[in-house]
Structure formats: structure tokens, C-alpha cells
């Protein structure tokens, strides 16, 4: 059930939407909208915190924390089996028993007590210049809700997703493949409902899926799915899933996929002849996660920054698939390579290059045939991040991105 951002070999994360109950379904979204701020679990009403000014909200949250902190059963001060110590665990408020309601995060455990559901508001520092969520924000929300899911399960043995059994076996989670589909980017101040759940993936893996919806509309904005395996923390080698760990997480499995019929085509490896190459990228201290590896969100940032600025200004990402091969540390030097798929470049691309930026949005939106041409077939790119290892390079992650033209809006 855990989530981590370290990478060793290939894991998958997918994002998918479904209007049925399969992904947390439209039904629960309607239920939330009809119930206002209050939700009912096991007969008890729980009201979500009000959206108020920052100062008042801080005061309210502090009071709630002081009143509610003793409620959760915590580990004794001595800790145990390599788990987080008692003092640190108390400050993190990590429970040792399953929770059904988290009033601090506005979250619930639903659907037979296995699926996680959280409501949040998109904040100002989570959006870009266009006031919409960045891809980095989307990935961070996925990671955070996955960890919160494990937190409420009562299985969290440390601060980053490992269960008690995993800690006893010196294991951590790593992601091998990830797929995210963005149908629409949330906007600043929008209220979102995020659902996440886990399922089995082969004998030794685990799948985690997500859906991000707009609470007011019920529309699915983001769909995602991922595959995880275990790695020995000391040897850095992949490990089979111990029966002890399987016994912990198997009761939480749901046989449901956020992205239906997801293609698993292997991503080709690029070389130095690619069109775009950015070398000598170096991780910063702030890029490291709690496992002391470069966070996978940073990988995506490196990939996208290789693309030309004019392309990023005119287009937005609609899908990304990542295949992780190797973890990256703080002392590694990284090279980012990118190559456009020629068969995915729309015929009108040459036309747009000729007309250039001098064509105003009013003219484009008023000229229906031209506006339609500029919004046709999405473009696709293949990506590769690799690190320098002596006189050669070793793969970190391969990627595939699909893009679509940004919609022009008349003032």
C-alpha cells in the first residue's frame, strides 16, 4: 500500500477516469455534493473544516490538533522493529490501528473500508502563470494521497510508506512504471476529490490507481495507475514479497483499474543523436526524498525542461508514461534527451511556424478552419534521463509524453 518516489528498474503509475463506481465512481461524487461539508461514517457525522482566511484557518487547525491528537492509538515511546521512534511518531500522529476518518486532511476510508478519498483545495503555490495546476502539482498530490492512504490503514511503519513487515525485512517500495492522463488541469481555488486504491500486480508487485475529480462538476480531471515492487534498503536489489508483507496489504486490494485497456508498449531507448539534449544536470539537496534519492517529480521536471520554450507555451501535456530503470543520488550528473515522434507531428505544424506569433488570438478564434487546424492531432515525444558512469551512461528513466494545443480564448 505504500508509495515512494525512489526508482530502481521499471515501475508503472497510471492515471485513469471512470464514471462508474470502478474508480470511485460518479455516485460518491454526487453524494459529496449533496451532503455539503458534512460526511457520515458508521452513523457518525463529520464536518469538513471550513474554507476561511489563512490566519483564522491556522487558529482553527491548531485548536483541532490540540483537541484531537490524543485520540489516535500510537506506538509506545520505545518504538520497535526499526519503526519510527515514539516521540517522532507522536509528532507525526501516526496511528497503529485502522482509521476511518481523518478530520485534519478531510479524508475517509470508503468502499468496504479499503479505498481512500480526500478533499482539498488547490492552493496558489500549486499553479502556474495560467492559474492552472502544474504537472508537478498533480504528481505531488498523487504521492501525498497514497501516503495518507497508508497512514489511515494503521500499517505505516515509517514516514514514507513502508509497512511494519517491510521494515522488519529491510525493504522499501520503488516504482517501476507510471502512466498519467490529464483530461483537464484544475484551477486555482478549485475543490478537488481524490480517490486512490491498491491492487495486486503479479506475484511480487502492487498496483496503485488514482482519480482526481472536480467536486462541483464531478468531472474526472486526472487518471493514473502505477506498479510497485520492493527493494532491499541495504543491497539496493529487488526483492520478492515476503508472506508477512503480503498478509498486511492483501486485504486492501481492489480488482479495479483507473485506466481501462492501458497500452503497455515498451518505450524505445534514445541516443545522443536525439533532437534535444541537456547535459550536466545536477540534483540539489531539495530534490531528495526521505529515502535519500532524487524524487521522481524532479525527473519529470528535467524531462520537460528539455523541450523548447515556444513549444511549452503553445501546448499542454495530456499524457505521460515513465519506465524507471535506476535510482539517482545527490552526487550523480544527469543528461536529459528528447526526440519528437515524426509520425505524430500534425501537417499544420509547418503552417503555424510560417504564420508565427504575430497572429492574434482574436484572428485565430474567429477563423474557424484555422482554429480547428491548430488544435488537431496531439504530438508525442520520447524521453530519456541517464546518468554519467565513468566513460558511459546508465539509464535512469525512459518516458513518453503526449501533448495537445492549448485552447485560445478570446479576451
Burial (CB count <10 Å: 0-12, 13-18, 19+), residue 305: middle
| The dihedral sign for the CA sequence 229, 235, 241, 244 | negative
- The answer to whether the beta carbons of residues 122 and 188 sit under 8 Å apart is yes
pLDDT digits (tens, 9 = 90+) for 108-140: 999 888 999 999 999 999 999 999 999 999 999
- 296-305 and 135-153 helices, crossing angle to 10°: 170
Rounded CA-CA distance 4/208 in Å is 12
**CA–CA separation, 227 vs 400, rounded Å?**
17
How do residues 245-261 score in pLDDT, each as one tens digit? 999 999 999 999 999 87
Looking at the chain, how many residues does it have? 411
Cα–chain center distance at 213: 14
Residues 6+ apart with CB under 8 A from 254: 111, 114, 115, 197, 198, 199
Residue 108 and residue 291: Cα distance in Å, rounded? 28
Q: Using DSSP bridges, classify how beta strands 334-340 and 276-281 pair: parallel, antiparallel or unpaired.
A: antiparallel
Asked if 399 contacts 180 with a C-beta cutoff of 8 angstroms, the reply is no
Any idea which residues carry the catalytic annotation?
A: 291, 293, 328
State pLDDT tens for residues 176-185: 999 999 999 9
Q: Give the integer Cα–Cα distance in Å for 328 and 322.
A: 15
Which domains are assigned to the chain?
A: 95-263 (3.10.129.10), 265-343+378-410 (3.10.129.10)
pTM: 0.73
**Cell reading at 155:** 500499517
pLDDT digits (tens, 9 = 90+) for 277-303: 999 999 998 998 877 889 888 999 999
List all residues 6 or more positions away from 333 whose beta carbon is below 8 Å from its beta carbon: 280, 281, 282, 387, 388
**Residue range 97-108: average pLDDT?**
93
| Number of Cβ atoms within 10 Å of the Cβ of 312 | 14
Give 104-134 as a DSSP string.
TTTEEEETTTTEEEEEEE--GGGB-TTSBB-
Whether 355 has a pLDDT exceeding 50, the answer reads no
Amino acid at each position: 500500500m505504500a508509495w515512494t518516489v525512489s526508482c530502481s528498474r521499471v515501475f508503472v503509475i497510471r492515471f485513469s477516469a471512470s464514471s462508474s463506481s470502478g474508480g470511485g465512481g460518479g455516485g460518491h461524487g454526487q453524494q459529496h455534493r449533496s451532503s455539503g461539508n458534512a460526511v457520515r461514517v458508521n452513523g457518525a457525522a463529520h464536518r469538513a473544516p471550513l474554507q476561511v482566511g489563512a490566519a483564522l484557518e491556522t487558529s482553527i487547525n491548531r485548536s483541532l490538533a490540540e483537541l484531537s491528537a490524543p485520540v489516535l492509538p500510537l506506538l509506545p515511546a520505545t518504538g520497535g522493529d526499526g519503526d519510527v521512534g515514539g516521540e517522532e511518531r507522536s509528532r507525526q500522529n501516526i496511528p497503529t490501528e485502522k482509521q476511518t476518518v481523518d478530520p485534519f486532511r478531510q479524508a475517509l476510508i470508503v468502499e468496504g473500508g479499503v479505498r481512500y478519498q480526500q478533499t482539498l483545495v488547490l492552493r496558489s503555490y500549486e499553479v502556474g502563470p495560467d492559474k492552472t495546476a502544474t504537472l508537478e502539482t498533480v504528481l505531488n498530490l498523487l504521492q501525498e494521497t497514497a501516503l495518507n492512504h497508508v497512514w489511515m490503514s494503521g500499517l505505516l511503519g515509517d514516514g514514507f510508506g513502508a509497512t511494519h513487515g517491510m521494515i522488519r525485512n529491510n525493504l522499501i517500495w520503488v516504482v517501476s512504471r507510471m502512466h498519467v492522463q490529464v483530461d483537464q488541469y484544475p484551477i486555482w481555488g478549485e475543490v478537488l476529490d481524490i480517490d486512490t486504491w491498491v491492487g495486486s500486480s503479479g506475484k511480487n508487485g502492487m498496483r496503485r490507481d488514482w482519480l482526481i475529480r472536480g467536486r462541483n462538476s464531478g468531472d474526472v480531471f486526472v487518471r493514473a495507475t502505477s506498479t510497485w515492487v520492493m527493494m532491499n534498503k541495504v543491497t539496493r536489489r529487488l526483492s520478492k514479497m515476503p508472506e508477512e508483507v503480503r498478509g498486511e496489504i492483501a486485504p486492501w486490494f481492489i480488482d479495479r483499474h483507473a485506466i481501462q485497456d492501458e497500452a503497455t508498449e515498451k518505450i524505445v531507448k534514445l541516443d545522443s543523436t536525439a533532437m534535444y539534449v541537456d547535459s550536466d544536470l545536477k540534483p540539489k539537496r531539495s530534490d531528495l526524498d526521505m529515502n535519500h534519492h532524487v524524487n521522481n517529480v524532479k525527473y519529470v521536471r528535467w524531462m520537460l525542461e528539455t523541450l523548447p520554450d515556444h513549444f511549452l507555451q503553445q501546448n499542454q501535456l495530456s499524457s505521460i508514461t515513465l519506465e524507471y530503470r535506476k535510482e539517482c543520488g545527490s552526487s550523480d550528473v544527469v543528461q536529459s534527451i528528447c526526440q519528437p515522434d515524426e509520425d505524430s507531428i500534425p501537417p499544420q505544424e509547418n503552417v503555424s511556424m510560417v504564420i508565427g506569433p504575430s497572429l492574434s488570438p482574436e484572428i485565430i478564434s474567429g477563423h474557424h478552419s484555422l482554429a480547428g487546424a491548430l488544435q488537431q492531432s496531439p504530438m508525442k515525444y520520447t524521453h530519456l534521463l541517464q546518468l554519467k558512469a565513468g566513460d558511459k551512461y546508465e539509464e535512469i528513466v525512459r518516458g513518453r509524453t503526449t501533448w495537445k494545443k492549448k485552447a485560445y480564448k478570446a479576451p
